[in-house]
Amino acid sequence: MTKDINNKNWFKRHKVLSIIGVVLAFIIIASVAGGGSKTPTASTSSTNSSNSSNTEQKTDFKIAETANIDDRKLTVNSIERNYSTGNEYLKPEAGKEFVVVTITIENNGKDSISFNTFDFKMQDSNGVQLTEDFSAISDGKLNSGSLAAGGKITGKIAYQVPQDDKSLKLLFTNPSLFNNKTITFSL
């Protein structure tokens, strides 16, 4: 009986180790195919390629500044404070206001990319990170979906924040498995 065990293939005798090896090989191949680390960079309207500030890697941006992360370009076009829904029943809680942020997402890659409002959060001056207030807007709202190569979408996301908070930040967390960096837009 011991002769039969020794004649079996090593992979058959060590099934758990074989599975772990296959998974590790897959992870290594996927990380190499991902092209390495990609970090956000600032983009300006200047065409001078010798200026190193155009490619300076950073994670903090301002309104109208474009962030490049992987194959996507993100721009916060504008912010509207004290937004009114026009509906007397849809009002912010006491001591709060609706803030609407208009965002443009562009796909500069060769493959389609996904976009989702859950990739964005609003952070107030107390460090509280808020998700979208779905009831505040309907016209021009950024939903979720995908963008084909070269595609571009502009839409609005609404948040309910403390009234007159002067230190609001819009946070974007890259949904990529290999690059989950967060970039910040100071509003």
Q: What is the dihedral of CA 51, 52, 56, 62, to 10 degrees?
A: -20
Mean pLDDT of the chain: 81
Q: Write out pLDDT tens, residues 73-108.
A: 999 999 999 998 888 888 999 999 999 999 999 999
Strands (E), the chain: 41-43, 60-62, 66-69, 72-80, 96-107, 113-115, 120-123, 129-130, 145-147, 152-162, 169-173, 182-186
Interatomic CA distance for residues 4 and 18, integer angstroms: 20
Interatomic CA distance for residues 44 and 152, integer angstroms: 18
pLDDT band at 130 (very low <50, low <70, confident <90, very high): very high
Whole-model pTM? 0.67
Interatomic CA distance for residues 152 and 107, integer angstroms: 6
Q: Does residue 40 register a pLDDT over 70?
A: no
